Homo-oligomer: A and B are copies of this chain.
Amino acid sequence: MGYRETLDTPCLVVHQEILEENVAKMADYARSRGISVRPHQKTHKTAEIARMQREAGAIGATCAKLGEAEALINTGVFDDVLIAYQVVGAQKIERLLSLMDKAHMIVAVDGTDVAQALSDACIDAGKTLDVVIEVNTGLNRAGLTPGEEVLELALALSDMSGIRLRGIMTHEGHVAKAANAAELDEIAQKAGKDLVATAELLRANGFQIEIVSAGSTPAAFSTTAIDGITEMRPGTYVFNDNNAFRFGRIGPDRCALRILTTVISRPAPDRAVIDAGSKTLAMDPSASKPGHGYVVEYPNATIVRLSEEHGVIELPEEAQGLKVGDRLEIIPNHVCPTVNLQDEMFVVRNGEVQADWEIIARGKVR
């Protein structure tokens, strides 16, 4: 029997051939541009995919939270990790110092207070921490305005002997606002130019800036079109998702991860209820398509509503033969939070389950 019959639902199914293709394509592109890949681990959170990324040439890993880094460093796959996040508070600084014994750590900073606390702790511990300054190229989340603001922090960091400035980074996630592929390219290239110009400003002021790091899967091929970007940190590209379709560059055939689900109720001819709700698909919206995911077998079906354990699908004419017990595969709107909801993913090749990969960094929010 194939995986659609043997697996219990709802569960995560990873199509291994697609995953391999996605990892290889990004690695090939980066090589062709002479850019390092430091993939974000938040998308897959597994040792096995981390290993695939390293074997494809990744120079290190990116994590948001220390807990994610702890889980991944323990696997021994990566020993060079960028925490693309502000490390704030005594408990976290303690954990960071421990990680520095096991791996080369780089940490993002965007203010003097946080940097000073890191520096002081490192001096006490007799260590030196590499940092990159986080630059806000338009997402308006954390980070400093490109140019003078970054230079000011760089100058302040010069007085902190526990840390060493290695470069700058941005997350150009605001490309999600683009209406189409051309606009995406424009926004991403603007971010790339602002980042590179800031690196040049720092260099003109005597700083040695080795790392100029951008990161976002949708913008991966756009931001890096700007000369001077040294590193990219894509995450979602290993799986892709329903959100990735909207720019027309990626289709369902490039989506490696799907939710296998079972129809559990057929209360009306045009309504099916599946066993995947928000606890499985997550509530993230999609800019590609209304509803809570892409039904692979019936692209015109709409997942109109999720409660925690129920998904309600509005069925088009061609799907009305669906029966209770039938199975469907759904591409989630945003794959990263979907993975975070499960303990394992089932890996499929040639229609058979090959392996069961543990999501070791699931739920590591601290």
Asked if residues B275 and A88 are in contact (CB atoms below 8 Å), the reply is yes
With A8-B92, A140-B312, A273-B141 as contacts: A265 and B86 at CB distance below 8 Å: yes
Query: Is A65 engaged at the interface, CB distance under 8 Å to the other chain?
Result: yes
- On whether the beta carbons of A88 and B325 are closer than 8 Å, the reply is yes
Q: How far is the CB of A328 from chain B (nearest CB, A)?
A: 13
Question: A343 to chain B: closest CB distance in Å?
Answer: 6
Chain A 155-178 against B: per-residue CB contact (8 Å), 1 yes, 0 no? 000000000000000000100000
Which one of B142, B264, B279, B323 lies within 8 Å of A86 (CB-CB)?
A: B264
Contact of A267 among B144, B336, B362 (CB under 8 A): B144
Which residues from chain B contact A114 at a C-beta distance below 8 Å? 264, 324
Measured CB to CB, the nearest residue on chain B to A340 is B279
- Determine if A39 is an interface residue (Cβ-Cβ < 8 Å): no
CA A337 to CA B284, docked complex, whole Å: 13
Q: Any chain B CB within 8 A of the CB of A22? A: no
A187 within 8 A of B: no
User: A10 contacts the other chain (Cβ, under 8 Å)?
Assistant: yes
Q: Which residues of B contact A280 (CB under 8 A)?
A: 365
A143 at interface (Cβ–Cβ under 8 A)?
Answer: yes
State the Cβ distance, A302 to closest chain B Cβ, in Å: 14
Does A341 sit within 8 A of B, measured CB to CB? yes
Could you say which interface size class chain A belongs to?
35 or more
Q: Are A113 and B325 in contact (CB under 8 A)?
A: yes
Partner of A342, one of B141, B308, B324, B365: B365
The interface bits of chain A over 257-291 (1 if a CB of B lies within 8 angstroms of the residue's CB, else 0) are: 00000111111000101011011101111000000
Interface assignment of A85: CB less than 8 Å from any CB of chain B:
yes
Nearest chain B CB to A47 CB, angstrom units: 19
Contact B365–A324 (Cβ < 8 Å): no
Q: Which residue of chain B has the shortest Cβ distance to A271 in the bound complex?
A: B140
A273 pairs with B142, CB closer than 8 A: yes
CB within 8 Å of B: which A59-78 residues:
64-65
Candidate in A88, A280, A285, A342 with the most chain B CB atoms within 10 angstroms: A88
Q: Per-position contact with B for A13-56: 1 when CB-CB < 8 Å, else 0?
A: 00000000000000000000000000000100000000000000
- Enumerate chain B residues within 8 angstroms of A341, measured Cβ to Cβ: 340-341, 363, 365
**Does B366 lie within 8 Å of A9, measured CB to CB?**
yes
From residue A287, how far is it (CB to closest CB) to chain B in Å? 14
Decide: B365 and A309 in contact? CB cutoff 8 A: yes
Q: How far is the CB of A329 from chain B (nearest CB, A)?
A: 16
A255 an interface residue at 8 Å Cβ cutoff?
no
Q: Is residue A310 contacting chain B, with contact meaning CB distance below 8 A?
A: yes
Residues of B within 8 A of A262 (CB): 88-89
